[in-house]
Every structure is written in structure tokens, then in C-alpha cells.
Structure 1
């Protein structure tokens, strides 16, 4: 059972890995035309939903593996807080993505939405890097 759970956990990791490259994709999207930006935002919105499903897989498989292992309470709290932060940031970024794509179609100014998207994508990347750090160095705390 452990190997199957670990395999599913790694599949979820690949899905969530999108959040590592998201700030860089958004940085390149600034130089695109309006219609290309709209397509990029739709692409990002779809992958955000895919990464959210990956987070659910991470939560379920990680919770099972955590219950089978011997980890400190502080480490478990840190990991759960980071996971909840990633769920929150991934969910919050969805509305500005939809509003920005709709604004691009209507030729409105979407600078407020794109600013929120950039901020939350950076927060997602930082939370994921911290999560990876604590997964690799789980004996540190």
C-alpha cells in the first residue's frame, strides 16, 4: 500500500509543480498581445484547476503517509499550514484569472487583476518551495 500511495503522491506533486513555473509564465505573458494574453490566462486558469486537484491528491496521500510515519508535531503543523495556504492561494487566484480574461475580451483595464495574479502566483511558488524544503528535510524540526 505504501508504494501505491507514494506513487499517487508523486503524481500529485507533478500537478502541483505548475505553481513553480507560474510566476515565470506570467512574466513572459506581459509582453504578449491582448488576444494572446487572454489565451494565456485561460490556459493558466485550466492548469490552476488541475493543480488544485493535485493538491487534493497531496492532502489525501500525504495525510495517509504522515499517519504511518514518525514525524514531529511541529513538522506536521508546518506542513498542514503550508498545504492550507496553497489551497487558499490557489483558490483566491481563480477569480482574478476569470476577471482578467473577461476584461481582455471587453478591452477593459485589467492591471488590478493581473497584479493580484502575480502576487498570488509568487505566494504559491514560495509556499511550494517551503513545502519541498520541509519534505526533504523532515528531521530539521
Structure 2
């Protein structure tokens, strides 16, 4: 049973790898114009939604795995704080993308471009920290 949850946990971590690429992808938004920009932000929105679902799978499978093995309290607190921060930042990122996609012509993308870029960078950093803490437990 543990092997199944480890598989789900690793698979969800691979799916969340999009957050490492998101800062670089979000920089490409301003280069595009019109419908290409709208389509690109739509793809990024779908990728963010997939990453959020993977985050939920990681939370559930990780919760089971933590219950089956001993970990320090400091590691547990650090993991949960970074996990919740990543969930919050990706939620804000998704909200900014949703607002920018409210106009099919793509006219609102420029209004939310700064927030999309900054939240992408923060989510990439948080995901990098999360993987580091998972790999190098203290």
C-alpha cells in the first residue's frame, strides 16, 4: 500500500514541476499579441489548474506517508507552511489569470501581467524549496 502512495506522491511532484517552468513561460506573455496572447494565457491557466490538482494529490498521499514514518516536528511544520504557501500563491496566480481571461479579445491581460509574472516567480521558488525540503529532510 505504501508503494502506491509513494507512486502517487512522486507522480504528483512531477506534475507540479510546471511551477519551475512557469516563471520562464510567463515572461513570454508580453512578447505575444492579441489572440496568441489570450491562447497562451489560457494554456498557462490550464497548467496551473493541473498543478493545483497535483498539489491536492501530494497533500493526501504525503499525509498518509507521514503517518507511516517518523519525522521531526520542525520538518513537519516547514513542509506544511511551504505547502500551504504554494497553494495560496497558485490560487492567487489562477485568480489573476482568470481575471485576465475574462475578455476574449485579451485586452485585460496587460492589467494583470505583473501579478501573473510575480506570482509565477514566487510559486517557482516555493516549489523549489518544497522539493529541497522533501529530498533533504532534517
TM over 0.5: yes
Deviation at 1:10, TM superposition (A): 1.1
Aligned residue for 1:41? Answer: 41
Residue 128, structure 1, aligned to residue 127, structure 2: yes
1:83-98 to structure 2, matched below 5 A, reads 83-98=83-98
Aligned residue for 1:3? Answer: 3
CA offset digits 1:62-89 (Å, max 9, x no partner): 1111111121100000000011011101
> 1:30 and 1:104 mapped to 2: Cα distance?
17
Preserved CA contact (<8 Å) 1:34 1:104: no
Residue 76, structure 1, aligned to residue 86, structure 2: no
> 1:115 and 1:24 mapped to 2: Cα distance?
14
Aligned residue for 1:115? Answer: 114
> TM-score under structure 2 normalisation?
0.93
Aligned length: 138
Deviation at 1:111, TM superposition (A): 3.2
Aligned residue for 2:28? Answer: 28
> 2:6 and 2:106 mapped to 1: Cα distance?
45
Deviation at 1:100, TM superposition (A): 1.6
